[in-house]
Chain A
Amino acid sequence: MEILMSIVIGILFMSAVYLMLSKSLLRIIIGTGLLSHGAHLLLITMGGLKDGAAPLLGEHAKDYVDPLPQALILTAIVISFGVTSFFLVLAYRAYQEIGTDNMDQMRGTEGND
């Protein structure tokens, strides 16, 4: 199972990097979204995908899955959501002001050379 997940994560990372290297700002933002998905899945996979009950003591199970990675991912999800939304609005505002989403054209002004 972990090997399958590793491959899935690898594909997510690969796509994310490919998108981030492109010239369109939109694709870059989508790339960061994919990257955070990959990272979250990586976290839970590294925590171990062994059998066991959900981490709720009410289950009265003999064995639970690891609760710590879940707490970490929860934090990470929220933070990446905050950052992504900020980034989105930034892209939106940048497009409004500059009028392009092509990264090659976003190189600062001539005077900065």
Chain B
Amino acid sequence: MTLLHLAILSPLLMALIVPLFYKVAKNVHTGWFVLILPVLLFSYFIQFLSRTSKGETITATAEWMPSFGINFTAYVDGLSLLFALLITGIGSLVVLYSIYYLDKHKESLHNFYVYLLLFMGAMLGVVLSDNLLVMYTFWELTSISSFLLIAYWYHRERSRYGAQKSMLITVFGGLSMLGGIVLLGIMGDTFSIRELLAQQDILVSHALFIPALLLILLGAFTKSAQFPFHIWLPDAMEAPTPVSAYLHSATMVKAGIYLVARMTPIFSESSLWIWLVGGIGLLTLMWGSFNAVKQTDLKGILAFSTISQLGLIMSLLGVGAAARFYDYNQYYVAATVAAIFHLVNHATFKGTLFMVVGIVDHETGTRDIRKLGGLMSMMPITATIALIGSFSMAGLPPFNGFLSKEMFFTGMIRVIEMDIFNLSTWGILFPIIAWVASIFTFIYSMILFFKTFTGKYQPEKLDKEAHEAPFGMLLSPIILASLVVIFGFFPNLLSQSIIKPAVEAIVPAIKESSTLKVNIYFWHGFTPELFMTFGVILLGTLLYVYSSKWTPIYSKIPEKLSFNTVYDHGLISMERGAFSLTRRYMTGFIRTYLVYIFTFFIGILSFTMISQGAFTIDTSELAPISVYEVVLAVILVLGTVTILFAKSRLTAIIALGSVGYSVALFFVLFKAPDLALTQLVIETVSVALFLLCFYHLPRLSRHEERTSFKFGNLLISAAVGVLVTLISIASHSQKMFPSISEYYVENSYKLAGGKNMVNVILVDFRGFDTMFEICVLAIAALGIFAMIRLRLTRRSEG
């Protein structure tokens, strides 16, 4: 346990005592206590910057389950540190924002901050764990805490729906990822990411490599809301806005990005990885930006825009992974640099925008853009922040989004030049889709700003009088928006300290060659990228201005084609299917279950016997047949058949008695005097009991069973009978070893002093059997007594 471990676990520990603060200090907003922790953690993690920027990594191990090779190894390199800083930095701002956003009297704040701290700790654990299983543990904790946060207002039906949906999808992905992790563990015999990296060349040729790749990707794609698993994110917008800002824009959805980046050195050898990560990323980018335009809820726009921006980062990571095939030429590594840069940028401007939307919601009472408009004069500061955020998102200069968008275009254009994995032919789609998606990005960014803050103010549609938010609420978005501007003007502030180490972590081989130069220029000349941006702005503006002309196409796309419908119907039909299946085979008739049991018995035994060739008949050791036995057998069979066809209960009982007495006679013939005695007595008592009971029971009706019903029964019972006969013949034919009874014959008198061997066995050699048999009889007697005497229903009646 080191300080680093303590830092990772501190939010979880803090979560334990938050309710205490809430109870004790009722007049102080609980958030103030919570705020201390992320700020401390941020300043703690900032210290590592100087070391990681030199290429150092920090490792600390705490034993957890050493016998299984599972230890909590914390590992800090550029990538982890970047995420840790995002988590704690934006975490601090979100906590600060939430202090003003959530009312301390109306909301159950202790719940909120416990969940939020759980989430923060889990997220830190995900990005700082070296052991994959430990990472998985934290990964699921993020799913759970996110579930709790989405359903924070649990009395709302939509919140519960959104929480359940996100839970189902992310846990589905998490479990797939666990499968992938286990496969990796089998291949590499370790769960440590660093040790797996070291034997990357062995893993690639392993048969389990592709399944592991697919499963891990499934985990990353579901968490990061990639196509078609993006559907949970828009529904997660039911969470309080600080949660949306924190989880669903800056941190949790980037856990999948982190995973992909972390696993890139292991998996990038495979064309499947590059195509899947790149292709799905682009598809998500396109789908998200296309759908964002039609949203009317501000948070809906932001949700789809998050989806599309995550797709953008993902596609850059996919393209960046191809750098391996060009000797890590800096030219191709640039895509990874762009991915990391955009990751930071997105966290800043998306956090800003969510907070802005929260403010608008808080001050006007609605997030519907059809009701909003003309807020600029009433909320000038908010409007300025929103302008910065949305223009950065659209990729306009001079904000940081412009820079990363240019780098994104660069990365995508270079795909055309790649001559691997068919990228030279199909790769042409990459820049085209990227460009079209950017146009849509531009449009929805403009909608977000102009529809909210310009146009006509409609006070009659609003619940509250719109006015500027308090300063405390504005503080966090101001900080984030100024970061947007600062990173826009001075991108190299980031490049050496944060981006370079992070890229080196994703592309470890580049560290040795030390060719990586991260320089982000604001002005990079008249390049194709610049003209693409001009095109985006031009076409985007045109489309935005004439949006009323073409947006009706959205209504042409039927609602049924959405993935939500697929998900909802899938869920419903799964429930229905399971229900009707259970209804079908759990009939409630005892006969049905007996049929299952007997059929299974017949099937499994006959299959085993036939496949083993065990149906043999050996006649060498058979005892001779005497006339008495044949006659007795005929009598017994006759008695049995009589029962089957008996019309009256008396006939059946007498026939059963005759069978019992025949069995007793068989015992006589087989030289078993004790058995014969017992059988005679017990059969007599049984018959008496049968008579006694049947006297009170109705006539032996056969319920007019259908012929087909009887035929089925006959088939099953005949099969059971034949099988029992065959097995008994077969087992008699295969004597493995002699009986142990010689011992009893020799020692009955010598050791036990009895001459009746059966009795000696019953009370001496195997006396325990007899003791419990007595117990059985006693229990039966008590049970019968209780059944007859205890009549609780009658007693209540009178």
| Chain A residues near B686 (CB-CB < 8 A) | 33, 81, 84-85
- Let me know if B698 and A95 touch, CB within 8 A: yes
Find out whether the CB atom of A24 lies under 8 angstroms from the CB atom of B703.
yes
The answer to whether A9 touches B717 (Cβ under 8 A) is: no
The bracket for how many chain A residues form the interface is 35 or more
Q: Are A79 and B696 in contact (CB under 8 A)?
A: no
**Does B663 reach chain A (CB closer than 8 Å)?**
yes
Among A3, A21, A48, contact of B717 (Cβ-Cβ < 8 Å): A21
Q: Are B724 and A10 interface neighbours, CB within 8 A?
A: yes
CA distance A79 to B168 in the complex (A): 51
Q: Considering the chains assembled together, what is the distance between the CA atoms of A50 and B724 in angstroms?
A: 21
Contact assessment for B591 and A21 in the assembled complex, using a CB-CB cutoff below 8 Å: yes
Complex contact B625–A4 (CB within 8 A):
yes
Are A95 and B724 interface neighbours, CB within 8 A? no
Within 8 A of B (CB), among A4-49: 4-27, 30, 33-34, 37-38, 40-42, 44-49
A75 in complex: contacting residue of B690, B714, B745, B770, CB < 8 Å: B770
Counting CB contacts under 8 A, is B679 at the interface? yes
Interface string of B252-265 (1 = CB under 8 A from A): 00000000000000
Collect the chain B residues with CB atoms within 8 Å of residue A17's CB: 598, 713, 716-717, 720-721
Given contacts A11-B640, A75-B769, whether A30 and B656 have CB atoms under 8 Å apart is yes
Whether B588 is near chain A, meaning CB under 8 Å from some CB there, is yes
CA distance A67 to B739 in the complex (A): 10
With A17-B716, A84-B686, A103-B591 as known contacts, state yes or no: A55 contacts B773, CB within 8 Å. Answer: no
A20: B residues at CB distance < 8 A: 594
CB within 8 A of B591: which of A23, A54, A55, A89?
A23
Does B610 make an interface contact (CB < 8 A)?
A: no
Report whether A42 and B724 are in contact in the complex, using a CB–CB cutoff of 8 Å. yes
Partner of A82, one of B589, B625, B644, B780: B780
Contacts of B716 in A (CB 8 A): 17, 21
Q: Are B758 and A74 in contact (CB under 8 A)?
A: yes
Set A37, A42, A44, A97: member contacting B660, Cβ < 8 A: A37
Whether A57 contacts B748 by the Cβ 8 Å rule is yes
Interface SS of A by simple majority: helix
Given A42-B724, A67-B757, A68-B761, decide whether A24 and B744 contact each other with a Cβ distance below 8 A: no
CB <8 Å contact, B777 and A82: yes
Residue B512 interfacial (CB < 8 Å): no
Q: How far is the CB of A43 from chain B (nearest CB, A)?
A: 10
A15 in contact with B643 given A2-B732, A26-B649, A26-B694 (CB within 8 Å): yes
Contact in complex: A88, B732 (CB < 8 Å)? no
A14-B718, A38-B724, A57-B757 known; A51-B675 Cβ under 8 A: no
Establish whether residues A71 and B762, one from each chain, have CB atoms under 8 Å apart when the complex forms: yes
CB distance from B650 to the nearest CB of A (A): 12
B422 within 8 A of partner (CB): no
Min distance, Cβ B670 to any Cβ of chain A, angstroms: 6
- The minimal Cβ–Cβ distance linking A47 to chain B, given in whole angstroms, is 8
Pairwise interchain contact B777-A71, C-beta atoms closer than 8 A: no
A101 in contact with B697 (CB, 8 Å): yes
> Known contacts A42-B728, A103-B590; is A22 also within 8 Å of B762 by CB?
no
Residues on A with beta carbons closer than 8 Å to the beta carbon of B783: 86
Assess whether A65 is in contact with B670, with CB atoms less than 8 Å apart.
yes
- How distant is B180 from chain A, measured CB to nearest CB, in Å? 42
Residues of A within 8 A of B663 (CB): 37, 40-41
Check B644–A88 contact: CB distance below 8 A: no
Q: Are A2 and B623 in touch, CB under 8 angstroms?
A: yes
Q: A12-B640, A49-B623 are in contact. Are A78 and B758 (CB under 8 A)?
A: no
B776 near A78 with CB under 8 A, answer yes
Residues of A within 8 A of B728 (CB): 2, 5-6, 9-10, 42, 45-46
Q: Which 4 A-B pairs have the closest CB atoms?
A: A14-B721, A10-B725, A82-B780, A17-B717
Residue in B closest to A80 when the chains form the complex, CB atoms = B682
With a cutoff of 8 Å between Cβ atoms, the chain A residues found around residue B671 in the complex are 52-55, 65
Q: Given the known A-B contacts A50-B623, A88-B689, are A56 and B756 also in contact in the complex, defined by CB atoms under 8 Å?
A: yes
Residues of A within 8 A of B660 (CB): 33, 37
Report the Cα distance A83→B656, complex, angstroms.
17
- In the bound complex, residues from chain B placing their C-beta under 8 Å from that of A53 are 671
Please list 5 pairs of residues, one from A and one from B, whose beta carbons are closer than 8 Å in the complex, sorted by A's number: A22-B705, A46-B731, A55-B757, A67-B758, A88-B690
B693 near A92: Cβ-Cβ < 8 Å: yes
Give the contacts of B710-762 with A (CB-CB under 8 A). Answer: 713-714, 716-718, 720-722, 724-725, 728-729, 731-732, 739-741, 744-745, 748-749, 755-758, 761-762
Nearest CB of A to B295, in Å: 44
- B residues 64-120 with Cβ under 8 Å of A? none
Given A15-B641, A18-B713, A23-B702, 12 other A-B contacts at CB below 8 A? A4-B625, A4-B630, A10-B724, A21-B594, A22-B703, A24-B703, A56-B755, A74-B758, A74-B762, A88-B689, A89-B784, A95-B697
Query: Shortest Cβ distance from B112 into chain A, in angstroms?
Result: 41
Report the separation of the CA atoms of residues A19 and B714 in the bound assembly, to the nearest whole angstrom.
10
Give every chain B residue within 8 A of A54 (Cβ-Cβ): 671-673
B679 contacts A77, C-beta separation under 8 Å: yes
Is B624 interfacial (CB-CB < 8 Å)?
A: yes
In whole angstroms, how far apart are the Cα atoms of A20 and B762 in the complex? Answer: 32
Docked complex Cα distance between A42 and B682 (Å): 19
1/0 per residue, CB under 8 A from A, across B639-655: the answer is 01101100001001100
Q: With the chains together, A76 CA to B656 CA distance in Å?
A: 18
CB of B375 to closest CB in A, whole Å: 57
- B315–chain A nearest beta-carbon distance, Å: 52
Which residues of the other chain, A, contact B757 by a CB distance below 8 angstroms?
55-57, 64, 67
Q: Does B787 contact A (CB under 8 A)?
A: yes
Rounded to whole Å, the gap between the CB of B251 and the closest CB of chain A is: 47
A66 near B675 (CB under 8 angstroms)?
no
Taking the complex as formed, is B456 at the interface, i.e. its CB lies under 8 A from any CB of chain A? Answer: no
When the two chains form their complex, are residues B629 and A1 in contact, meaning their CB atoms are under 8 A apart?
Answer: yes
Asked whether B377 is an interface residue with its Cβ less than 8 Å from the other chain, the reply is no
Interchain CB contact under 8 A, A10 and B721: yes
Q: What does the 1/0 interface line of B276-308 toward A look like (CB < 8 Å)?
A: 000000000000000000000000000000000
Pair B674/A74 contact, Cβ less than 8 Å? yes
Most chain B CB within a 10 A radius of its CB, from A4, A14, A65, A86: A14
CB distance from A76 to the nearest CB of B (A): 9
Distance of B566 from chain A, by nearest CB (Å): 31
Contacts of B793 in A (CB 8 A): 97
B761 contacts A71, C-beta separation under 8 Å: yes
With beta carbons under 8 angstroms apart, the residue of B598, B694, B732 that contacts A45 is B732
Are A19 and B644 in contact, with the CB atoms below 8 A?
Answer: yes
Structural contact, B724 and A70, CB atoms closer than 8 A:
no
Cβ of B700 within 8 Å of any chain A Cβ, yes or no, is: yes
Q: How far is the CB of A57 from chain B (nearest CB, A)?
A: 4
Contacts of B667 in A (CB 8 A): 44
* B758 and A92 contacting across the interface, CB-CB below 8 Å: no
Q: Are A6 and B732 in contact (CB under 8 A)?
A: yes
The answer to whether B682 touches A18 (Cβ under 8 A) is no
Q: How far is the CA of A37 from the CA of B630 in the complex (A)?
A: 18
Q: Are A67 and B741 in contact (CB under 8 A)?
A: yes
